Chains A and B, each alone.
Chain A
Amino acid sequence: MAQPEKKSGLLRKSSGSKKVFKEKVVLMYDEIFKTEDPVQNNVRFWEELFLLKVNLEYLEAKLESLVGDQLMQMKDNINSLFHHCVLTLREDHQIRVVNALQTLCGLLRGVHQKNMPNTGFDIINILMGFDNAEEEMKSLMVSLDSLLCGDGSLSLKGLCLKLLLCLITVTGNISQNTILEYIMINSIFEAIIQILSTPQIQQHLGYDAVVLLALLVNYRKYESANPYIVKLSILDDEMALNGTGLVLSRTLCEYNRHYKSKEEEAQGGIFSTITNIVGNMFIGEAEEKLSPRTNESLLLALYEAVHLNRNFIAVLAHSHPEMEPATPPQSPSSPNTPTNSQLDGNLPTSDALVSTELPLDPNTQTSNLLITFLKYCSIVMQDTKDEHRLNSAKLCLIILTCIAEDQYANSFLHDDNMTFRVHLHRMPMRHRKKVVDKNVPSRPLACAVLDLMVEFMMTHMMKDFPMELYLRCVAIVQKLICYQKKCRVRLHYTWQELWAALISVLKFLLSHETVLLGKHNIFPLALQVVNLFNMFITYGDTFLPTPGSYDELYYEIIRMHQAFDNLYSMVLRHSTNNGQWKDPASKVTQALVNIRAIVNHFNPKIESFAAVNHISQLSEEQVLSVVRCNYDTLTLKLQDSLDHYERYTEQPREASFFTQLVRSISADVRRTLSLGTLSQEVLLKEFSTIA
């Protein structure tokens, strides 16, 4: 098979600008793109066609060059090409099957690149013809399904997945792709699940399968009954769920490791940092290098799994002990295709590695998907400057929201027996040293989530204020606290950090009031923050770890009373001036009642204490003792529904976000989908030994 290609290459070189030698397959393509039936000249035309190596470029270019009407004229031939492709899929001859699959890809892409304004039915008409469409697609799906579930080679299955991905991503907006309607009718969900639940196949094809599933779920999500949504939400095959989890954590892990190695590289010493800075001046992309491109398709898959399937929540806690030692740090040439052969080659031997290498490396921690995800979040959230990364961060926070709402997830987040040391990545900032504290105590995972939220709040108070992300952040904290209150979980967390972060958020809102009010409604965020404090004040007895921490809460409020005073005067101003913010501002005013009561109650007491004892500056201990002595005379008002929260719903608020996201993902997938001839070589090698 390789012979003609070589020859052509040689000829092309020597003959130069003379008449270009055409491959036979190209000639046959030309046959097709005529109006008469190619079988007229050659009875065995179709059989021969699929024996020849596909020339995708030519096929796609040819289709692209055709004008709409021309295409319509060739409709019959294209229809029969499609028909024969589908027929060939059923054959035993693997090379023909491969060629047919690739031809189908080329055909689909080529036709779609026409990008006709009235997409949809026309394309179906050109590809299959209206009358046969249903039959053809059914036959195609049945063949694909049996190929995916059969005992064929991995490459073949991979190619099937690629064809499906190709089919799904040909249009910009997935929901406008009418061909998908047939995939909805002829479900391949089971085939995907089988791939995911079979470890060996999952290792190789899991990534594509997961992306495919995520995209399928997003087809007309908000308009019609998507059977994939239904099936995914009731899926309870543990092996498949676990397989999905493995794919996700492998990819995220890979990303984290990549980032870490980059980071360590960047920290090489003073000299290298200087050169880096200098380099940054000239090449603006250095930053891009440090934070590699995020992988949204995987995040989307994680989101769909967490959001749709309650059983998947359990998978988050499944540990993957051999994950990290199994894959040694490697140069990740393409974070988008983590299923490269190097990785796969390593996994099967992982067992031997684990048993011998684990004890040697005491830093190796048992990890699970959630921890990996939290680390990933900490990287993604560091830099939200560009739109793309902002979206990633948002999706991360949405996923965390879903997790924080789930009862079961909360139960293991707060489980005292499941403690981990989670090393979150922290953004290097001027005003704080980058502490690489190796001695993070082993704590329940909820602590790590809270840390992440605190970190986010402290590091994103910038001019281009990500209001929405802040709201999500505070909401996640609130959800965790609601669970703790309800289940009386006393998390040993240093709450001061959270309080400090919340107060700084308030301060930031106050100091940039005018700028922010131009873009956002800042009052819901202020209300949420204040209500979080109210939660602590009112229900602290149910979830604070020590009586001392309740005192410290008061201390913190009293110490930062300026911020609350200012906030009060600000919201009072807005609620009385009958402006557009009247209602939301007055809500904040009401919420501040208790904090004001505390401030007004204790401040005079502390002042008098200072006066009596002639101390200008009271120590923390002294203030705390004053606080302790004066609780009993303080009356507070019970506020309504502090422990209520609005549950997350995708529709309608996030619908457009996801539509956009899916659009960009599908563009991404389409771009990176390599049906290149390189795979052809591999395939041929593989099949030549089989056949």
Chain B
Amino acid sequence: MYLFLNVQILYKVWTILIPHCAPIQFDVTFFFFPHPFLLFILAAMDCDDRTRDELSELSVPRDAVADAQDAALGPCPPMCGNGNTLGCILESIGENVIDPVVAERTCQQVLESLMQKQDVADNVCGSLEGQDEVPDGSLPTSASAVGESSKECKVHSSRGLQIVTTWTLAKCDRAGDGIKRDKELLNLEGLPRRIPANSSASKQSLLLRLFESKLFDVSMAISYLHNSKEPGVQAYLGNRLFSFPPDTVDFYLPQLLTMYLHGPEEAGDAIKPYLVHRCRHGPDFALRCAWLLGAYSADGPAVSSRQRHSRGTKLRRLILADELAPTAGSSADQQNANSGFGRARSKAVIGLIPPSLPCPGTVLSAISPSKRTHQRSKSDATSCVSQAGVLRRSSSNPKVEMQSEEGQGSWRPESSRAVQCLLQQVEPSDDGQGGSVEPDRRTVRLAPEREFLKSLMAIGKRLASLPTKEQKTQRLVAELSLLNLTLPARIWLPTAAFPHHIVRLPYTQAVVLNSKDKAPYLIYVEVLECEDMEHSPVPARIPESRIRNTRSEENLLEEFSITSEHRAGSFTMVPNIDPDEDAWAQDDIADLQVEQPEIHKSDKSTNSSDTISQFSVDSITSLDSKAEPVYFLAGDIRRRLSEQLNVPATQFRRDPEDPSAAALKEPWKEKVQRIRESSPYGHFPNWRLLSVIVKCGDDLRQELLAYQVLTQLQAIWEQERVPLWLKPYKILVTSADSGMIEPIVNAVSIHQVKKQSQLSLLNFFLQEHGHYNTEAFLCARRNFVQSCAAYCLVCYLLQVKDRHNGNILLDQEGHIIHIDFGFILSSSPRNLGFETSAFKLTQEFVDVMGGQDSDMFLYYKLLMLQGLIAARKHMERVVQIVEIMQQGSQLPCFHGASTIRQLKERFHMSLTEEQLQMLIDQMVEGSMRSLTTRLYDGFQYITNGIM
């Protein structure tokens, strides 16, 4: 609290300064009122800019330095709104109008009076140095210096600038190269340093001590970033972000971006270096940023000013044009170091891109020709040919390919574009001695992935137009099989936790999910784990039909993969370009010649011999010896048949109207095994199977918010050692109306359970896990209770509505999992006041727990209490997530003004534990008896057939 106050004070100081800002600036513009105080403000503000830049520069390496310098020289103090005017004013004023002595004195006075007024100035040794006219025309500046607790004060007058406290230099521990850079910068005399104006040093130091303490984590950083209005603090925090492990920061990416988009200017500027830095280093992060930016600014214009809005769009455009690729950055830096133009350019790259600058355009146009050569075999062939100097189709080829591209376009635009991009991508531009390849590589970083997602979304859109599930499924399989032709490629699933490349879509496994008018679908994706998505080579394509039958074929596969890599050879008619390929081809021909009579079989020969040998092995094992006849009982066969059919009773039967039920019921491990066996890539040790739900036409931003809250609660409960079980599922928002969801494996909805098994929930538990006293059942029941309690709390806290049985899943181990957070907080489905209870607790659920008087039911209530107490303890962590997201958001869950207040109220900070317990009992009772829950289930059954 104390610390918070501190920040508050800082904030007050600043607000006092700010109101003066605008009018004064106006005056200056017209040279009416060259009041010295003005200059101070201007200077302060300017310094402020610098500081921010320096702070970012401290940890943002090379490229940011350029940025900072640009900012220092160039006209870009975003604080004052229009940077350009200010820039020109400063120049003109600096030389003509201002009397530095007066300025100095006035500044000092103002400062002192201010400090006295605020009664916070207990330790200031600010001195304002008079400035000479600065010969090189850079702006005259004065600054206040605020002592540190050590009372050290350094005043630098060189080049008329600046004092510094060591405050900003912050011994903040930074990762890696950041530290070194800090030190270098520290030694650089004369570089601008500044502290936040007018802050109380002692309190400041407390804040600093907090920031530097071990306890300080991302959550707190985000919180201070959000609440602090003090640019220095924000700048510091912006830098501090670099020191956190990336994945912890990733969690708060939506918050960071919202602050960047809709938050105060300074916060945005503080965050930006970090975003840019991360975008530069991870294509995944870059894309995620771009998508989220797109999504969050979708309904922005109504709320935020045009300028802020465009800030988001600009960054987004920047990312998508892939200006932030590492190669681009470094080259820009080099230029930057060399010439003034370089600065301008890097400015354009990193900062705001003026539309007049042809930078992105040229890059794009430079790319487009190379984009055409989408079939690597051909392009290789051409280059080979032209190298060899033999007259071949070298000249004519590009045109042919252009045609092919257009032809494909007419065939299926999205996928063919994907084909191009992906195919082009397959080939790492390893032959990149030529300069022309350079731009290629850059777009290639993000383009394939974007195309991939675009085509997935396009499929979803097309599916939505088909009337029946069956047709949708067929169409889906058809579309995916075409998409499959373009794989493997340097694309990945953003929901996955490890770096990988997608190598194949087992398209026959894809299913359309239940939805009335949209067509969300579930696909499985085979990936090969790799070390670095950006740099590891993409695996070579293995044709679909080469399913590995036995180990002996492994060598063969090796060979095949080589050939497919050198496919080019089979395309060119000029021999002796690639000795490897040539040798192989000749070998192959020789093989074929040896087996002359059965040329056509040679390709299949391995396969055939395998299968036959397998057959014979089968029959030999069944025939113990060939000499004596073996007898068997017809009854045995009949018995085995019925046994085998009875065992997999866990499987659901296939239902054309609900294709997802059977697909989801199949245990994940079995599915992985099955797909692995049928995949040509299955033998790779780093083969993995992932799955993802593609949603098109749905806004997933609320889901993302729910995911964050759930994850936060999960962490809180883990930290407090409350055995509550939650399963947050990952969400990827790609735009305001599309995205992907990580499916929960081994889980089916309660609706599907009831429909397929025609059993009550309890009986289903008994069927799945065994009888009451078996360990499996008890374990499943415990899981059920722990998850149920957790989700009840979540439902209560977040006011999750639309809780019909289609939205509640049951997993293999007995956990229930709530999905679909389309109605949370202030929003609820437009129905007739159903679902008034705190959460959904039906008699069936209670039955599974063992009835109202059972121990498990008491345990359930106890867990709820513990969970609520734990959540209450860390309420800020939860509320903060929601609160930040509220900025500039049009989401229905933030409808009304009191969303946050009500959310806070539900934590019941004021109640004692006894009172809480009573509250819980009351809620449980109420929910159980709730008529509306039953009514809603009935309503859903009637309207949507959900049981």
Chain A residues close to B by CB (< 8 Å): 145-146, 149-151, 187, 190, 193-194, 197-203, 221-222, 225-227, 229-231, 233-239, 242, 307-314, 317-322, 347-351, 354-355, 358-359, 362, 364-366, 368, 406-409, 411-412, 415-420, 442, 482, 486, 490, 537-541, 544, 546-547, 550-551, 554, 598, 628, 631-638, 640-644, 647, 649-652
Which 6 A-B pairs give the minimum distances between C-beta atoms?
A319-B478, A200-B407, A199-B407, A631-B635, A632-B635, A314-B544
Query: Which residues from A are CB-within-8-Å of B412?
Result: 322, 351
With CB as the reference atom, state the residue of chain B lying closest to A441.
B656
Of A200, A551, A632, A649, which is within 8 A of B403 by CB?
A200
A359 touches B467 (CB 8 A): yes
Q: How many residues of chain B have a CB within 8 Å of chain A?
A: 95
With CB as the reference atom, state the residue of chain B lying closest to A242.
B485
Contact pattern, B 559-582, Cβ under 8 Å of A = 1, otherwise 0: 000011001001111000000000
With CB as the reference atom, state the residue of chain B lying closest to A539.
B637
A411 touches B466 (CB 8 A): no
Within the complex, what minimum Cβ distance (angstroms) separates A192 from chain B? Answer: 12
Interface of B is mostly: helix
Within the complex, what minimum Cβ distance (angstroms) separates B504 from chain A? Answer: 11
Of B467, B601, B641, which is within 8 A of A544 by CB?
B641
Tell me the bound Cα distance from A341 to B798 in angstroms.
Answer: 63
Contact pattern, B 531-572, Cβ under 8 Å of A = 1, otherwise 0: 000000000010111110100000000000001100100111
Answer whether A234 and B588 are a contact pair too, CB < 8 Å, given A417-B509, A640-B619.
Answer: yes
Is the C-beta of B503 less than 8 angstroms from some C-beta in chain A? no
Chain B residues close to A by CB (< 8 Å): 375, 377, 392-393, 396-397, 399-400, 403-404, 406-408, 410-413, 462, 465-468, 470-471, 473-475, 477-479, 481-482, 485, 508-511, 541, 543-547, 549, 563-564, 567, 570-573, 588-589, 592-593, 596-604, 607-608, 611-612, 614-616, 618-619, 622-623, 626, 629-635, 637-638, 640-642, 644-645, 654, 656, 659, 663, 678
Within the complex, what minimum Cβ distance (angstroms) separates B394 from chain A? Answer: 10
A197 touches B600 (CB 8 A): no
Query: Which residues from A are CB-within-8-Å of B573?
Result: 145, 187, 190
Answer whether A442 and B404 are a contact pair too, CB < 8 Å, given A237-B377, A313-B545.
Answer: no
With CB as the reference atom, state the residue of chain B lying closest to A642.
B619
Tell me the bound Cα distance from A634 to B632 in angstroms.
Answer: 8
Query: Which residues from B are CB-within-8-Å of A642?
Result: 619
With CB as the reference atom, state the residue of chain A lying closest to B611.
A407
Tell me the bound Cα distance from A173 to B465 in angstroms.
Answer: 53
Within the complex, what minimum Cβ distance (angstroms) separates B830 from chain A? Answer: 27
Tell me the bound Cα distance from A368 to B634 in angstroms.
Answer: 41
Answer whether A151 and B637 are a contact pair too, CB < 8 Å, given A319-B474, A366-B471, A407-B607.
Answer: no
Query: Which residues from A are CB-within-8-Å of B597?
Result: 222, 651-652
B545 touches A547 (CB 8 A): no
B567 touches A237 (CB 8 A): yes
With CB as the reference atom, state the residue of chain A lying closest to B404.
A198
Tell me the bound Cα distance from A309 to B623 in angstroms.
Answer: 35
Q: Which of A351, A540, A547 has the most CB of B within 10 A?
A: A547
Report 13 cross-chain contacts, Cβ distance below 8 Å, ordered by A residue.
A146-B396, A197-B375, A199-B404, A350-B410, A359-B466, A362-B468, A407-B547, A411-B678, A417-B659, A419-B470, A632-B634, A635-B632, A638-B632
Answer whether A198 and B407 are a contact pair too, CB < 8 Å, given A187-B573, A310-B546.
Answer: yes
Within the complex, what minimum Cβ distance (angstroms) separates B138 from chain A? Answer: 59
A634 touches B474 (CB 8 A): no
Query: Which residues from B are CB-within-8-Å of A442?
Result: 470, 656
B407 touches A550 (CB 8 A): no
Within the complex, what minimum Cβ distance (angstroms) separates A319 from chain B? Answer: 3
Of A239, A490, A540, A647, which is within 8 A of B637 by CB?
A540
Answer whether A234 and B615 are a contact pair too, CB < 8 Å, given A149-B393, A636-B634.
Answer: no
Within the complex, what minimum Cβ distance (angstroms) separates B842 from chain A? Answer: 34
Within the complex, what minimum Cβ distance (angstroms) separates A617 from chain B? Answer: 25
Tell me the bound Cα distance from A547 to B637 in angstroms.
Answer: 10
Within the complex, what minimum Cβ distance (angstroms) separates B826 from chain A? Answer: 36
B393 touches A225 (CB 8 A): no
Tell me the bound Cα distance from A351 to B473 in angstroms.
Answer: 20
Tell me the bound Cα distance from A490 to B407 in angstroms.
Answer: 42
Query: Which residues from B are CB-within-8-Å of A644?
Result: 612, 615-616, 619
Within the complex, what minimum Cβ distance (angstroms) separates B132 from chain A? Answer: 71
With CB as the reference atom, state the residue of chain A lying closest to B485.
A238
A200 touches B410 (CB 8 A): yes
Of B482, B612, B631, B635, which is within 8 A of A637 by CB?
B631
Query: Which residues from A are CB-within-8-Å of B481?
Result: 317-319
Tell me the bound Cα distance from A643 to B572 in angstroms.
Answer: 44
B396 touches A420 (CB 8 A): no
With CB as the reference atom, state the residue of chain B lying closest to A597.
B634
Query: Which residues from A are CB-within-8-Å of B641?
Result: 540-541, 544, 547, 550
Within the complex, what minimum Cβ distance (angstroms) separates A574 from chain B? Answer: 23
Tell me the bound Cα distance from A309 to B602 in angstroms.
Answer: 10
Tell me the bound Cα distance from A652 to B600 in angstroms.
Answer: 12
Of A229, A321, A365, A637, which is within 8 A of B479 by CB?
A321
Query: Which residues from A are CB-within-8-Å of B634?
Result: 537, 554, 598, 631-632, 634-636
B545 touches A366 (CB 8 A): no
Tell me the bound Cα distance from A546 to B589 in angstroms.
Answer: 49
Of A193, A550, A638, which is within 8 A of B623 by CB?
A638
Answer whether A348 and B619 are a contact pair too, CB < 8 Å, given A242-B485, A310-B545.
Answer: no
Of B392, B549, B572, B638, which is within 8 A of A550 by CB?
B638
With CB as the reference atom, state the residue of chain A lying closest to B477.
A418
Of A408, A650, A652, which is within 8 A of B544 by CB?
A408
A197 touches B475 (CB 8 A): no
Query: Which residues from B are CB-within-8-Å of A631?
Result: 633-635, 638
With CB as the reference atom, state the residue of chain B lying closest to A551.
B638
Tell me the bound Cα distance from A493 to B908 in angstroms.
Answer: 62
With CB as the reference atom, state the residue of chain A lying closest to B403.
A200
Query: Which residues from A are CB-within-8-Å of B413?
Result: 351
Of A187, A308, A368, A408, which is within 8 A of B600 by CB?
A308
Query: Which residues from A are CB-within-8-Å of B470?
Result: 419, 442
Answer whether A359 and B637 are a contact pair too, CB < 8 Å, given A197-B404, A311-B544, A408-B545.
Answer: no
Answer whether A649 and B601 are a contact pair too, CB < 8 Å, given A149-B393, A407-B607.
Answer: yes
Query: Which residues from A are CB-within-8-Å of B396?
Result: 146, 149-151
Tell me the bound Cα distance from A320 to B619 in angstroms.
Answer: 41
With CB as the reference atom, state the residue of chain B lying closest to A354.
B462
Within the complex, what minimum Cβ distance (angstroms) separates B544 from chain A? Answer: 4
With CB as the reference atom, state the residue of chain A lying closest to B609.
A647
Answer whether A225 and B567 are a contact pair too, CB < 8 Å, given A319-B477, A358-B466, A644-B615.
Answer: no
A231 touches B570 (CB 8 A): yes
Query: Which residues from A are CB-within-8-Å of B546?
Result: 310-311, 408
Tell me the bound Cα distance from A541 to B545 in angstroms.
Answer: 28
Tell me the bound Cα distance from A442 to B471 in angstroms.
Answer: 10
With CB as the reference atom, state the residue of chain A lying closest to B393.
A149
Answer whether A230 and B599 are a contact pair too, CB < 8 Å, given A197-B404, A318-B482, A634-B633.
Answer: yes
B633 touches A486 (CB 8 A): no
Of A236, A415, A418, which is within 8 A of B564 by CB?
A236
B589 touches A151 (CB 8 A): no
B640 touches A541 (CB 8 A): yes
Answer whether A638 and B629 are a contact pair too, CB < 8 Å, given A233-B603, A321-B475, A550-B641.
Answer: yes
Of A237, A411, A420, A637, which is within 8 A of B474 by CB?
A420
With CB as the reference atom, state the residue of chain B lying closest to A236.
B543
Tell me the bound Cα distance from A137 to B2 in angstroms.
Answer: 95
Query: Which residues from B are CB-within-8-Å of A239?
Result: 375, 485
Tell me the bound Cα distance from A374 to B603 in angstroms.
Answer: 25
Tell me the bound Cα distance from A187 to B570 in angstroms.
Answer: 12
B407 touches A541 (CB 8 A): no
- Known pairs A198-B404, A199-B408, A310-B604 / 10 extra A-B pairs, C-beta < 8 Å: A149-B393, A197-B404, A198-B400, A225-B596, A225-B599, A229-B600, A407-B547, A418-B474, A546-B645, A632-B634
A359 touches B465 (CB 8 A): yes
Query: Which residues from B are CB-within-8-Å of A362?
Result: 467-468, 471
